[in-house]
Amino acid sequence: MAGFTYATLTTAIQNYTETDTNVLTATITDQFIENSELRILRDVPIDAYKKQSIGNLVTGQNTINVPAQTLFVKGVQVYDSTSTSTGANTWLEKKDETYLQEFEPSTESDARAKPKYYAMFGGATGITDTTSGRLFLSPAPDSTYVFKIHYEAIPTGLSGSNTTTYISQYFGNGLLYACLVEAFSYLKGPIDMLTLYENKYKQEVQKFAAEQLGRRKRDDYTDGTVRIKVPSPSP
């Protein structure tokens, strides 16, 4: 199935549900699309939405804001340098906040050092840095080290002003089926149709996950050519 634009997806939703804009207004279908996009993002980590953010720690401050629209943090590096992100660096170990509090509860100057651990702290995902959540560091930094956050971002969704996205173009069928699950739930449609599109979505998301988490994580030189067993008919 070819990819969708915002216009072709909304038309497809109406066609599959045999309704029109008198029943499914733009506001309603936009909510279907947003819910479906968030479902896909939580079901499958997508390479296209991997991001990095670089900044400097503040001496004595043991928290930093994660980047805006962060879905989850994949890892944090802290560099020995305070002015560039090149050179020696350390990957911080992720721990629970309670572990960090026990490890180094003070931010006083005699307890400061290059951070070793991090934990998610407060907030949730959101549009701005202050609502996206925070990282709790331990020990509190003794210098303005450069840090790099690797994270999965919530992308700008499909809409009338953003007519195509990676998901709509490369996972269009999965997005459509997820939207139809939303639509038939909203319309209180036949349970068999709801079940049909839920199963179709699950089938498509398995194939998409195999691509994102399997084929895109390997190459033929180091891992060998993928071999799929094809059953032969019995003689």
Domain boundary among 153, 173, 206: 153
Residues in contact with 12: Cβ distance below 8 Å, sequence separation at least 6, in sequence order? 4, 176
Q: What is the pLDDT of residue 189?
A: 87
Residues 193 and 149 in one domain: no
**CB atoms < 10 A from the CB of 189, how many?**
16
Same domain, 56 and 126: yes
Q: DSSP assignment of 135-174, as one string?
A: EEEESPPSS--EEEEEEEE-PPPP-SSS---HHHHHSHHH
Give mean pLDDT in consecutive 10-residue pieces for the chain, a chain of 235 residues.
Answer: 88 96 96 97 93 93 90 92 80 92 79 91 54 83 94 93 96 96 94 95 93 78 70 72
185 and 144 fall within a common domain: no
pLDDT at 213: 82
Q: Which domain holds residue 198?
A: 181-217
Q: Note whether 117 and 79 are same-domain residues.
A: yes
pTM for the model: 0.82
Q: How far apart are CA 83 and CA 123, in angstroms?
A: 29
Q: Report the number of distinct structural domains present in the chain.
A: 2
Domain boundary (153, 172, 190) is at: 153
Do 140 and 192 lie in one domain? The reply is: no
In a domain? residue 14: no
Predicted local distance difference test score (pLDDT) of residue 226: 65
Q: Decide if 209 contacts 59 (C-beta within 8 A).
A: no
Both 74 and 115 in a single domain? yes
Q: Which of 109, 136, 153 is the last residue of a domain?
A: 153
The reply to whether 133 and 194 lie within a common domain is no
Q: Are 109 and 188 contained in the same domain?
A: no
Q: Are residues 139 and 56 in the same domain?
A: yes
Task: Say yes or no: 124 and 191 in one domain.
Answer: no
Cα–Cα distance measured from residue 174 to residue 195, given in angstroms and rounded to the nearest whole number: 15
Q: Is residue 170 part of a domain?
A: no
195 and 124 inside one domain: no
**Domain presence at residue 125:** yes
Burial of 128 (0-12, 13-18, 19+ CB in 10 A): exposed
